[in-house]
C-alpha cells in the first residue's frame, strides 16, 4: 500500500513538470500580442490595403520623406489627428502621422509617388475638388463656398484633380475651405532630422 501513494505523487510531479515546460516553451516561442517582438515582426499586410498602400508590422525606408498639412475650415485651423494610419500593436501604413503637428510621414518599401487623396483614404475622410469632410462646395447657396489648395504658398489650379496632388519632401500643403486664414503658410519648420 505504501508504493501506491508514492507512485501517484511521482505521476503528479511529472504532470506538473510537463505543464511547466509546456508553458515555458509557449512563453519563449510565442510572445503575447502586447510583446514588442510581435510589433516589430517582419510579417506584412496586417490591415486592409488602402489605395494600394499596405499596413505593415514595421516602418520601411526605401522612400522616407515628410510633408506638412494644414487645413483651414472657415478661416480656423482644423486639427490633424495623431496616429492616422497606425493601428497600435498591429501595423503602420506607409503614410501616417505620429502626433498632432500635421506632419505626414511617408516611409515606403516601394519607390512610388504618394498623393493627397491616398492620405485622406487612409485617414478615412472625404476629400476631392468639391468636398472636404462634410463641407461641400456650394452647399447652403453661398457664393463664398470654395475649396482651394496651396503648395508651398502657391495656389493649385482647381482644374487639377486635388486627390492626385503628389506629396513631395518638405511640402507645406494648405487646404482651405471657404474663408482663408490671415496668412497662407509658405513653409513649415520641420524638426531636425525630418
Per-residue pLDDT of the chain (194 residues; tens, 9 = 90+): 556 667 766 666 666 565 555 544 433 333 333 333 333 333 345 889 999 999 999 999 899 999 999 999 999 999 999 999 999 999 999 999 999 999 999 999 999 999 999 999 999 999 999 999 999 998 755 555 599 999 999 999 999 999 999 999 999 999 999 999 999 999 999 999 99
User: 159: phi > 0 → left, psi -120 to 50 → alpha, else beta; which?
Assistant: alpha
Evaluate whether residue 105 is within a structural domain.
yes
The pLDDT of residue 46 is 81
The pLDDT of residue 31 is 36
Same domain (yes/no): 158, 108:
yes
Domain containing 160: what range?
Answer: 55-177
Sign of the torsion formed by the C-alpha atoms of 134, 73, 139 and 157? negative
CATH of residue 165's domain is 2.170.130
Evaluate whether residue 39 is within a structural domain.
no
Evaluate whether residue 155 is within a structural domain.
yes
Dihedral angle over CA of 57, 68, 159, 126, nearest 10: 50
Evaluate whether residue 11 is within a structural domain.
yes
Same domain (yes/no): 12, 72:
no
Pairs from 48-55 (Cβ < 8 Å, separation ≥ 24):
50/93, 50/118, 50/121, 50/122, 51/117, 51/118, 51/121, 51/122, 52/118, 53/93, 53/94, 53/95, 53/108, 53/114, 53/118, 53/122, 54/93, 54/94, 55/85, 55/87, 55/90, 55/91, 55/92, 55/93
Amino acid at each position: 500500500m505504501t508504493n501506491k501513494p508514492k507512485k501517484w505523487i511521482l505521476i503528479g510531479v511529472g504532470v506538473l513538470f510537463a505543464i511547466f515546460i509546456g508553458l515555458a516553451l509557449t512563453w519563449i516561442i510565442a510572445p503575447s500580442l502586447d510583446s514588442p517582438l510581435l510589433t516589430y515582426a517582419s510579417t506584412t499586410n496586417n490591415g486592409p490595403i488602402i489605395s494600394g498602400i499596405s499596413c505593415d508590422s514595421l516602418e520601411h525606408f526605401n522612400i522616407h520623406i515628410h510633408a506638412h498639412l494644414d487645413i483651414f475650415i472657415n478661416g480656423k485651423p482644423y486639427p490633424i489627428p495623431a496616429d492616422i494610419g497606425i493601428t497600435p500593436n498591429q501595423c503602420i501604413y506607409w503614410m501616417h502621422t505620429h502626433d498632432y503637428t500635421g506632419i505626414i510621414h511617408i516611409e515606403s518599401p516601394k519607390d512610388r509617388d504618394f498623393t493627397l487623396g491616398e492620405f485622406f483614404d487612409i485617414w478615412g475622410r472625404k476629400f476631392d475638388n468639391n468636398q472636404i469632410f462634410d463641407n461641400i462646395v456650394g452647399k447652403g447657396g453661398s457664393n463664398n463656398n470654395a475649396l482651394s489648395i496651396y503648395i508651398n504658398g502657391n495656389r493649385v489650379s482647381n482644374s487639377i484633380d486635388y486627390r492626385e496632388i503628389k506629396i513631395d519632401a518638405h511640402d507645406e500643403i494648405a487646404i482651405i475651405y471657404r474663408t482663408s486664414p490671415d496668412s497662407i503658410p509658405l513653409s513649415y519648420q520641420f524638426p531636425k532630422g525630418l
